[in-house]
Each structure stands twice: as C-alpha cells, then as structure tokens.
Structure 1
Amino acid sequence: MFANLLIILVASLITIALFRRLNLPPLLGYLCVGVLCGPFAAGWISAGGQDMSILAEMGVVFLLFTLGLEFSLPRMLALKSTVFGLGSLQVICTSLPLAALLHLYGLSLAVSLTLAAGLALSSTAIVSKELSSLGEIFTPHGQNAIGVLLFQDLVAVLLLTLLPLISGGSEQAWYVALPLTLGKAVLLFIGLLVASRWLLPRLFHEVAAARSNELFLLMALVIVLLTAWLTHLLGLSMALGAFLAGMLLGESHYRHQIEADIRPFRDVLLGLFFVSVGMLIDLRLFLSHGLTIIALTLLLIAIKGLAVALLVRLRGNTTTVAWRSGLALAQGGEFFFALLAQMQSSTLLDSNLASLLLAAVFCSMSVTPLLLRGAPRLAARLQRRHSGDSSLEAISASGEAQQGHVLICGYGRVGQSIGRFLRRENIPYIALDDDPVRVQEAAAGEDHVHYGDCRRADLLQAMNIAQARLLVVAVDNSEAALQIVEQARRLQAELQILVRTRDDSKLDALLALGANEVVPELLESSLMLASHALVMLGLPESRVQQSMDAVRAGRYRLLHGFYHGGHADLLGQHQQPRTLLHAVTLSAQASACQRSLDELQLEQLGVEIQGIRRHGEELSPAPQLRLQAGDTLLLAGPLVAIESSEAHLLAS
C-alpha cells in the first residue's frame, strides 16, 4: 500500500500542476493518473488493495460531510420537494428508456431494470466537488442537482439491498428487505438528530473551551469516521450517513471551524477516490471499441440530460436553470461501478457488455467538469436555439431607440448599483453581461439588460456606441476590461470611458488604451476608510477631501504596495505579481552609501522609492539626494524586483 500511495501522490502532484497551467479541472487530472498508472496501462499501481479502496471511499465520506454542513436541517426541509419529488421523477423517467434499450439488446427485464436504475444515478462526488469549487451549490440548478443526488444515494442503497433478490441469492423477500432498509435509515436519522441536539454541542463547547486546535481537529475527525462506521454497520451508504451528520451539525456555531479543519483531508482523500475510478478503465478497450463507447456515452448524456431538463422546466424553473440542471446530472455515477461488479459476480451480466458500459460511464464522468464549467454558455446557446431569438437583433432594437445613453459592460453587483443611480436620475442605459442566469433574472424586471460578450465589436455597435454618452466597464476581469476599452476607443474616439478594476495592477495599461478614469476598488475602499477616520479625528472635511483628491490625481501612488505577512498571497488576480512594500536599511558597508538616487537607477529594476527615513525624519526622495549609512528606504514593487533592488543597494 505504501508504494502505491507514494506513486499516486507523486503522479498527482505533477499532473495537477500541469492541469492548473492548462486551466483544466484538477478532477480530470486525478482520473488521468488512475488511467495511466493503473493496472491496464503502465501498471505502476496494483488494483484491488482493500486499504486503498477504504481510503478512497473516505474521500467521498468527507465530501458529503462538508456538504451536509452547508445544508442545515431547515434548508433540507425546504428542499424536500426537490429531493423526493424531482429526485423520484428523475430516477423513473431516466430508468424507463434506458431499461427499454437494454431489454431490446437481449437482457432480461429484471436485469435491464436494475442496470437502468444504476445508470440513472449520477456522480455525487464529481457534481458536488465541481459545484462547490465553482461556487454554485446554492444556485437554483445547484440545489436541484444536490437534491436529486441525495435521493439517488438512498436509491443506491436500496438497489444493493435488492440485488441478491434478483440473483436469487437471498432468503428474504423484497417486501421484507425494503422496509428493513428504510427503517434503518430512519433509525440512523433519529439517532443522529438526538446526538446533534443534546450531545455534540456540549462536547464541542468543552473542546473549544480548551482552546486547542489539535483537540478540535481530532473531535471533527472522530465524528466523521464514527458516523461512517455506524452507517456501515447498519448496511447503509457511509456517504449518506456522513451527509446526515453534517446536515444536523449545520446549525452549530462551530460548523465553519469544522469545515476548515476537514477540508485538507477531504481534498486529498477525494483525489485518491478519483484515481481509484480511473484505475478501472482498460485503455485497450478504446482502441478496439472506441466508436461504440463514444456512441454509448453520448446516448447516456443525451437521455439523462434531456430527461432532467424537461422535468425541471415542467416544475416551473426557467429554461436556463433546466438546461444547467440537466447538464449537471447527465453523467453516470460511481455507484454503477459497485453495482456492475456485484452483477458480474452473480453472473447476471456478460463481461463484454459490462466493460463497454463501464467505459461509457467513465467517459461521461470525465467530461462532466468541462460541461459544468461551460454550462453557462452552452445553456445560453440551447435556450436561444429553443426560443429562436437573436441577441444581436434584440440589442440593436434596444440601442437604436437610445441617444445620449450610458453603456454598462458587466451587470454584476457594481454594474447593477450604477444602473440604480442612473434610473433614479432618469438617465437611459443599456447593460450587457455574459452570465445567462443573471441576464434572465434582470430581464424579468428590466428591459435594457442583454446577454452577450462585451468584447465583441458588433455588440458594442449594436448598443449604439456612436451615440452613447458614457461607457462604464464593470467586468470583474482585468484582461477583459483591456479588450473592451481597446474596442470601444477604436469605435468611438470621443467617448468617455470609466473602468472599474479590482486593484491598480492594470491602471497604466487601461489609461494608455484610452480610459478616461480608472477606479480600483481596493484602493477606493481604502481611501473611503481613511477619509472617514480623518473626519472622525476632527480634521476639516474640506482638507480631507483635498487630500483624497490629491491621491487620486497622483494615480493612487501613495497607496501602491503593501507589507506582506507570513501567509500573504504574493500573486494577485490572474496570477500577476502583487506590488509589495519592503523597507531596506543601509549598513555602513552598503554599496549605496554616498551615492545619489539618480546614480542607483532603481526604477530600471522595477521598483519605486516611496520614502526615505534618516534619524527618524522623513526625507523627500529627490534624484540628487545622497544616501548615508542608517538610511531606511521604503521600496514598492513586485517581489522579484524588490529582491534585486535590495541586493543592488546592500552589495558591498
């Protein structure tokens, strides 16, 4: 086991780093590690290790526990119609067409229904992990997906319970086994409910009072593992039990601390789970039956995705939410692997068909992260194709009627706030955003918000940029803002352009491209706090306003850089180096002593001198100023530039 674990960790480290560079989901990297290092490829990892499979299953247990922490009992009660209503309909409406196809293939009715029910279940691990990483757990399509997945976990337990009855290897009748399984689930829920109400809060209070991070972490681990063990003893799904435990602890004051402590274990163990899934795949099967596997994969995704989308739409959700829910649940699930293994051991299924179905389910799981990340654009295209509307024509129709209006690129929180002030002053505007859910929500109450990519010149022209009075770029992406400003300035040379950015990393580039004003959020919030502090200290408001205006006129030079701490992230948005502050004190042997700032030419190294202190007094950094031993220079710039400058100043 030790050698297998070491190989998996090393291979995962290299693969995930490569996938991060390629902007691909880490989950796909773990699957690739399992496929390439498994027994059917390189053979570096041996299959069938009991210890490894337990560790892999613990990853799903930890994932469902942390997911349960987000869904408290009141939230779950509010989702009961989704869990039992949409969940049951999804399993039925997906199983029936799949069972019909399998029965036509030649399988018996009982085996077809069992296999179809297994194929109807989706991947709890993949969907939950991706929705969580994308921050979409509490979106409408995210809650639809989580609700259906919870019902599917219960169905999975029932299927494993009923499988011996189908193969003829059980002495119990189905009408005895089924109520027995449901009774165990109810008993588990009641037991966990009692413990979460009266026992666990007192235990956590005592542990928290000890102020020991180690004790708190051990307590959290014991709860997760104990819950999984009790559930396993009852013959139920360990993941389902972990979710119930997390859900009942979701109302606890300590849930955020529990989640933070559990997360590192969850991510590593979940990686092992995805590696174990990849190890089941034989690459040689793709060479001999590649087209068949692709056809089965597409058929599975189409049937499941369409069934879910139709059900969600019939329940009254929007078309976009329906498509995104369908795309989230269109794959097969990890439970199907366990079901397939038991059916093969009971000689209910031919090995060739089992291998093809296994490969098709694996492929559907592999493309799910990409489907979820591309779901907004894909859902928007499907919706437009369904409705037959042309976004360009709709934008043109809206733009032609406007003159002296404002264009808002990006209709998030900032764009919406600007829009509210414009409406208050009766100033017309048109907004463009590339999030279809946000556009659909906004368009329900406003008739001037449209879907589209703000970087496209034809859409800017359709918004009647030639007659516009002002362009506000409120997108939360510096690279996109640069492209929008460049396109807009090319189309309209006299247009006023106001740009909102996260920080000042692209301030000079935006101004060079033609932006009239650039407002960095972080620096403006710092100015706002500083101005309030000065006014509260008794300084005249006119003097404070004059000081703030001077900082803005100097392009926020006073605020450039910050002192980084031990845990600071030295890379900003889009992995660009942050501007840091660093103080360098000159020793008597420093090469910078008795030299002027003009001679040192520190600007060529990429740093800016923010200030100089000599014997406790502030000096103006004039080019002719000669430095002395004991002087402290305050440097601002990226980490690499600061290190080079410090070496240049101190080298004897």
Structure 2
Amino acid sequence: MDNPGAYSVFYEITAIISVAALVGLIGTLLRQPLVVSFIAVGILVGPVGLNLVTDYEQVELLASIGIALLLFVVGLRLDLHAVRTLGTVVLGAGVTQIAFIAIAGFFLARLLGFAAVPSLVIAIALVSSSTIIIVKLLSDKREIDALHGRLTVAISVLQDLMVILAMIGLSALAGAKGADNHLVTQMLLTAGRGVLFLAGVGVMMTVVLPRLLPHMARSTELLLLFAVAWALALAALAEVIGLSKEVGAFVAGLALGWSPYRETISARMVPLRDFLLLFFFIDLGLRLDLRLLGGQIGIGLLFALFLLAGKALTVMAVVGLMGYRKRTGFLTGIAMTPLSEFGLIFVGMALGQGHIGDEIVGLITVIALISIGMSTYMIIYSGQLYSRLSRLLTVFERRVPYREAGSGSVESLPQADVILFGLGTYGGAVAKHLLEHGRQVVGVDFDPQVLAAPPKEGLARVYGDGEDPELFDYLPLQRARWVMSALPGRDTNLTLLKAVRERGFDAKVVLSARSQYDARVLEQAGADLVLCPFADAAEQAADSLTEAMETLTREAPWPVDAREVRLRPGSAFAGQTIEELPLRAETGVSIIAISRAGRSYFDPGPDFRLDAGDRLVLLGEPENLERAVEYLERRQLSEPVQESQQFTVSELQVPEGSPWVSKTLAELNLRRTIGVTVIGIERGEQQITAPTAAEVIQAGDRVVLAGSRSAMETCEGACQPPR
C-alpha cells in the first residue's frame, strides 16, 4: 500500500455507511425517524460502541459539507410567497412561539443552574422546529397540503430564518473574540463585511449568473457540479470574512432561487445533501459521551416537555385568536415539537467557538432525541389525540371560528346542488363544468390563492379543511344533493364520508381515489360513486390515440388538412345523425372518420348517429376547419338542467274499475302512448322490480313510474275509472 492511511479512511467510511444502512433499516421497520437512527449509528461506531472510527476529521469534513448543502437547499427552496400566503397567522404564531420559547427557555435554564451564555445558547437552540422531520412525517400521512400542514411548514421555515440570523450573530461574536474587548467595533466590522458580501452576491445574481447559467444548464451534470461549487465557494468565503459557512451556503441558495433551473438543481441536489447530512448526525453521535448523559436525561425530558407544552399552547392560542378552529391549532402545535437540525448546528457552532462545553451539546442532543421520538408518535396518532382532548381545547377557539372568503357565502345560495371539497386543478375543473351546467356549488378549500380568485356566479367558496370533522357542522348538508371530494388521499376521503354519514346526510357522496385498490376501499365504506381521476384521464388519453387521424394521413396521396374534435358531454349535436348536422353547409367541412370507444369508423354514412364523447375527424380548408371546430364546440347546457328538474319518479295506485286492471304492461305500452316507464310494482307486501311485459296489472297495485311531470299527470288521468 502506497498510503495506508487513505485505505484506513476508506474502510472506516465504508463501515460507517454499512452500519448506517443496517440501523436505518431497523429504525424504519420500527417506524423511527432516520435522524434518530443516524445519531444511534454515531454512538454505535464511536468509542463507546464498536470503536470503528479513528479519523474523526474525515467524518467532520463530510458533515460540514452536508450542513452547507442542507442550508443551500433551504435557501434554494425558500418561497417567501408561500410564507406570505397564510398571512398574519404565520407571522403571529411564529413570532409568538419564538419569543415565548426563547425567553421562557432562557429562564428555565437559569433556574436549573446553567450560566448566562449556555442558557442563551440553549434557549436559541430550542426555538426552531425540524422542518425535515415535520415534512417527512406529514408527507407520510399525506397531510402536508392540509391546512395544519401548510401552517406548520410555514412557521417552521420562519423559525429556521430566526436561527440563521442567530448564526450570523454568533459569527460576529466569534470575529470579536480576542479583540481586546472591542466587541462593538468587531461586530460592526463583521456587519460591514456581511453587507459587502451580500452586495457582491447581488452583483453576481444580476450580472454574471443570468449569462452563465444557460451555458451550465446544457448538461444537468455540469449544472449540478456548478451548484455544488457555488454553494461551497460562498460557504468558504463567508467563513473567511468572519461570518459562517452555514450563512454563506444559505445565501448561495437564495442567489439561485430566482433562476428557472431552481427545481432541477434542487431535485439533483437533495440526494447528495441527504447522503452527506448522514455524517452530520453520525458526528453528533460520535461526540456524545454517554457517561455525561445519565444525569442529563431527566433535564432533557423536562426541556422536551417544556417544548411540547410551550409550542403547542402558543400556536393554539394565536391560531385560535386569528379565527381558526381548535383542531387546526392543535394539529399545528403538536407538529412543532421536534427540535430542529438547525438547533443542533447552532450548538455545534457555539461549541466550536468555545461558548459552551460538551455537556451542553449532549443535553441538546438528548432533548432532540426525546422531542423527535415524542413528536413521531404524536403526529402519527394526532387524530386520536384530538378526539380525546377536543372538549378541553374549546378555550382555544373563537365563537365564530370559520372565515369565509371568495365570491359568495353559504347563506347566499337558495340551494347548494353540490358541496365540493378541493378547488385545485382537478376540483377547480369539476366546479367549472358544474357551473356551466347551471349547478350551484359550495367549494371548500384552505388555499388562500384559490379563495381569492375572482367571484363566480353560483359558486360560494368556504375556507376550511376537509379533514376536519367539525367543519361539516357549518356546511349546508341538508340543502345539497351531492357531496363530492376532489381530494386524493384515501384516509381523507374516508374521514369525509364518515363525517357526512354521521350527520344524517342522505344524498349522494362522491369520492376520489388514486388507485383501483383505494376505489374498492371507498366503495366498501359506502361511497355512492368513486372517481379515479388518473385512471379516467389515462383511459381518455388512450382513447385519443386512435388510428383514424394516423390512417388518414398515411393513406392520403398528398398532405391533407384535417382536425380532430371531441363532442363533449352536453353537446348540442349529441344524438343527431350526420345528415341532421348541417356542418358542410355551414362551414364547408366534411366528417371523414369518427372514433368511439377505441374503434374508428371511416366514411360514416348520413344515418350515423353521434354520441357525446365521439371524436370527429374533419377534412377541409384550414380556415374552414377552425370555423367547424368552433361550431361543433357549441354546447347546450340549460336543457339538461331543465330536463332533470322536469323528470320525476312517483307511485300511482291503480283503483278499482281502472281501465288498466287485467291488462299486461305490453298491452298498456305506457312508454309509447304516454312516455313513462314502469320500473316497479308494489302489490301488498310483494315488490316486483323490473317487471316483464307479461306482468298483469291488478286493482290496488302501486305502480312505480319514471318520466316527466306532465306525463305523470297524463298517466294519473288515464288510470282513473271511466265516469
């Protein structure tokens, strides 16, 4: 071996990664966060465990790169607009929680005997909640887009920003250390260097990067390499001028966050970040002295309980005061419990600068482990916890907890035909078509951008979370014909179905499913109709790939001008024959082929009857084709609504002496003579469903008929005995 030391480092890193993979698998099977598993790996491979690591500097180097990339990605992904969308509640809850935890945490640490500087470090470290763990746990529960999920993430990002500002202050203190007590001067110098640093980055953002990035983006590998180099270069420069590499990496991310390559860089960077961040948590475990932890477990548990109570209570108080329900405040509050990685990074910086000792690092790590463990189970079982504590939480809810936004209110609608949960891409399109059909819709969503959309006649937008069972007490369920969920989560739909049924809602419930398995589960749970948006879209897409257009262009001896247009549901031309459709006379365009349900009909005859969903292949001049498409896309939306309002199902009792008595249904032929359909007969205790044409009508029969109201009146007169 030319360099035995290099091989030793290689073997150690290999051993660490192998142990991390094994322990991570065990932790995953036990439903524990990977952060806990990785810290356990550090303890396991360290001096108190297997003692596999001798070169701590290599692990620390990889950990430093991982921290830099973590902060780079945070800056890259930071969306200030997303923080602003939830408005004052994020700022109010975030600032209140930060202030309370910092002040109360400082005095609690002092009360427990810690000196002023360590107490301040502890207080700042406790402020931030783990965005990574919060996002992971809420994503696993598919609650990341729920109201409480969005609030939690937004508040967590705000807390991260506060800790980053504390890192800048800590860097300034480090620059002032040993400067003959000229602390203010050194801090001003550090601040000045920071301003120059930001100004330089600003020049790069506006002048250099816009010209450089397009060339780098010609190769995704080169773009990723540049992003890593940019992050590490600014991290190193920031450390040189007296700030910190963490601050430099964060600013590097902000500098690239404006670019159109932001998502590509982020997607490519995250796996590398996660791999290197592994060594940060392992490094924490390596530094733990278990001999010091024995006496700190009690104090760590006390601080963890303080975090749980303090963060939950402050969030519930502010969120409730601002008009949200107690459930939203509770779920947001308990999700804020896990101590942030930024707190651990901040403590590591304080240790490196000599402000604290190893025992403080050990204490914060114990608090992190306990808080992460508690929050994992509390978030997983948050629904059950809320059900048990709901009555006690009423104090955190205002008398009128729900705010309505948008173009109408529930009370303004004389009748809500459909209550629609979710007004996103899919739900918004459903609402649009329902409005076109003349339906009155109550849309429920928690996205402020959706609720702030321009008002639409017939649509009332209600602010709320579909997973909140108490929301249904405020909705006009008894005035609605349908309740529809455009939300994709299976558990969300089951919760919605249960809440609707428990309130005695007898009309139809329509749910959405991601998969056929979810659809079967929802059907078995009692849903009247289950929609599969992805499957339906896939089926329609496959149906669109017909052979008609391809065959036409292949067989024609010269280029042809052809267009394909679909007859949408409600088309004015559905049910007409080609002969009845004056398309050629109106536009000069011919129908050369029709695709229906995967089949193609070429050169259809004049008696070919069109159906909704047919795809018509049109042949003609380009300008005529445009006119033909516009002509065929005309729709009649008022007639279906009017017909549905005229249609009825009712019972008609056949009296003694009726001319119907002793006649078969075939002889009566009510469908042809009057325009009604017999769908059932009730004879005493016997119910005859789908009666045959040979069924004989008897006196006293209750005949169930379906048809228009006018036809029902005619039927009632025809059934009476002659005078």
TM beyond 0.5: yes
- Give the number of the structure with larger relative contact order, counting CA–CA contacts within 8 Å between residues 6 or more apart: 1
Q: 1:11 and 2:61 equivalent?
A: no
2:347 aligned to 319, 322, 337, which one?
337
Indicate the residue corresponding to 1:256 in structure 2. Answer: 263
The alpha-carbon deviation at position 367 of structure 1 amounts to 4.5
The alpha-carbon deviation at position 73 of structure 1 amounts to 8.8
AA partner of residue 188 (structure 1): F
1:246 aligned to 244, 253, 274, which one?
253
Indicate the residue corresponding to 2:532 in structure 1. Answer: 520
2:187 aligned to 148, 170, 178, which one?
178
The alpha-carbon deviation at position 198 of structure 1 amounts to 1.9
Q: 1:148 and 2:151 equivalent?
A: no
Indicate the residue corresponding to 1:606 in structure 2. Answer: none
The alpha-carbon deviation at position 155 of structure 1 amounts to 1.3
Residues 42-61 of structure 1 deviation map (CA, whole Å, 9 limit, x = unaligned): 33443871121121122221
Q: 1:547 and 2:597 equivalent?
A: yes
2:208 aligned to 195, 199, 205, which one?
199
Residues 580-613 of structure 1 deviation map (CA, whole Å, 9 limit, x = unaligned): xxxxxxxxxxxxxxxxxxxxxxxxxxxxxxxxxx
Indicate the residue corresponding to 1:71 in structure 2. Answer: 78
AA partner of residue 162 (structure 1): L
When residues 537 and 502 of structure 1 are mapped into structure 2, their CA distance, relative to the original with a 3 A threshold, is farther
1:324 aligned to 318, 332, 335, which one?
332
Equivalence map 1:149-548=2 (5 Å): 149-162=160-173, 170-208=179-217, 211-281=218-288, 290-304=297-311, 306=313, 320=328, 324=332, 327-328=335-336, 331=339, 333-338=343-348, 341=351, 355-367=362-374, 384=394, 386-387=396-397, 410-411=421-422, 413=424, 414=426, 418=430, 469-470=481-482, 472=484, 474-478=486-490, 496=508, 498-505=510-517, 517-529=529-541, 537=563, 541=567, 547=597
Q: 1:49 and 2:61 equivalent?
A: no
When residues 275 and 431 of structure 1 are mapped into structure 2, their CA distance, relative to the original with a 3 A threshold, is farther
Residues 303-351 of structure 1 deviation map (CA, whole Å, 9 limit, x = unaligned): 35545666788899997479737853763611353256358x57x76x7
Overall identity of the aligned pairs, in %: 24
| Residues 72, 251 of structure 1: 8 Å contact kept | no
When residues 175 and 244 of structure 1 are mapped into structure 2, their CA distance, relative to the original with a 3 A threshold, is same
| Residues 102, 127 of structure 2: 8 Å contact kept | yes
When residues 32 and 482 of structure 1 are mapped into structure 2, their CA distance, relative to the original with a 3 A threshold, is same
Residues 326-385 of structure 1 deviation map (CA, whole Å, 9 limit, x = unaligned): 853763611353256358x57x76x76774454224433555566667779878958655
Equivalence map 1:592-603=2 (5 Å): none
Provide the C-alpha distance between the structure 2 equivalents of 1:357 and 1:488, rounded to a whole number of angstroms. 46
AA partner of residue 163 (structure 2): Q
Provide the C-alpha distance between the structure 1 equivalents of 2:307 and 2:506, rounded to a whole number of angstroms. 54
Residues 89-142 of structure 1 deviation map (CA, whole Å, 9 limit, x = unaligned): 765543332332333344454554454344445557656877899866994543
When residues 366 and 529 of structure 1 are mapped into structure 2, their CA distance, relative to the original with a 3 A threshold, is same
- Structure 1 gaps, min length 5: 392-398, 551-652
When residues 219 and 363 of structure 1 are mapped into structure 2, their CA distance, relative to the original with a 3 A threshold, is same
The alpha-carbon deviation at position 245 of structure 1 amounts to 1.4
Indicate the residue corresponding to 1:58 in structure 2. Answer: 65
Provide the C-alpha distance between the structure 2 equivalents of 1:341 and 1:491, rounded to a whole number of angstroms. 58
3-state SS of paired residue (1:334): helix
Provide the C-alpha distance between the structure 2 equivalents of 1:74 and 1:415, rounded to a whole number of angstroms. 23
| Residues 331, 368 of structure 1: 8 Å contact kept | no
3-state SS of paired residue (2:215): helix
AA partner of residue 180 (structure 1): L
- Structure 2 gaps, min length 5: 1-8, 402-409, 454-458, 550-561, 568-573, 575-592, 601-723
AA partner of residue 243 (structure 1): F
Residues 253-282 of structure 1 deviation map (CA, whole Å, 9 limit, x = unaligned): 332332233222112112222333344445
| Residues 163, 346 of structure 2: 8 Å contact kept | no
The alpha-carbon deviation at position 502 of structure 1 amounts to 2.6
Provide the C-alpha distance between the structure 2 equivalents of 1:507 and 1:64, rounded to a whole number of angstroms. 41
Provide the C-alpha distance between the structure 2 equivalents of 1:224 and 1:132, rounded to a whole number of angstroms. 28
Indicate the residue corresponding to 1:595 in structure 2. Answer: none
**Larger helix share, 1 or 2:** 1
3-state SS of paired residue (2:170): helix
Size of the aligned set, in residue pairs, is 534
Return the TM-score normalized by structure 1.
0.63
Provide the C-alpha distance between the structure 1 equivalents of 2:81 and 2:475, rounded to a whole number of angstroms. 45
Provide the C-alpha distance between the structure 2 equivalents of 1:77 and 1:181, rounded to a whole number of angstroms. 30
Return the TM-score normalized by structure 2.
0.57
Provide the C-alpha distance between the structure 1 equivalents of 2:94 and 2:472, rounded to a whole number of angstroms. 43
Provide the C-alpha distance between the structure 2 equivalents of 1:512 and 1:78, rounded to a whole number of angstroms. 38
Indicate the residue corresponding to 2:123 in structure 1. Answer: 116
| Residues 293, 362 of structure 2: 8 Å contact kept | no
Equivalence map 1:566-585=2 (5 Å): none
Provide the C-alpha distance between the structure 2 equivalents of 1:80 and 1:190, rounded to a whole number of angstroms. 29
When residues 480 and 303 of structure 1 are mapped into structure 2, their CA distance, relative to the original with a 3 A threshold, is closer
3-state SS of paired residue (1:240): helix
Provide the C-alpha distance between the structure 1 equivalents of 2:565 and 2:106, rounded to a whole number of angstroms. 78
The alpha-carbon deviation at position 4 of structure 1 amounts to 3.5
Of structures 1 and 2, the larger Rg is shown by 2
Q: 1:2 and 2:22 equivalent?
A: no
3-state SS of paired residue (2:512): strand
When residues 110 and 170 of structure 1 are mapped into structure 2, their CA distance, relative to the original with a 3 A threshold, is farther
3-state SS of paired residue (1:253): coil
| Residues 407, 463 of structure 1: 8 Å contact kept | no
| Residues 527, 548 of structure 1: 8 Å contact kept | no
When residues 249 and 437 of structure 1 are mapped into structure 2, their CA distance, relative to the original with a 3 A threshold, is closer
Residues 272-301 of structure 1 deviation map (CA, whole Å, 9 limit, x = unaligned): 223333444455666666444322211234
AA partner of residue 533 (structure 2): E
Indicate the residue corresponding to 1:99 in structure 2. Answer: 106
Provide the C-alpha distance between the structure 1 equivalents of 2:399 and 2:90, rounded to a whole number of angstroms. 34
The alpha-carbon deviation at position 506 of structure 1 amounts to 5.0
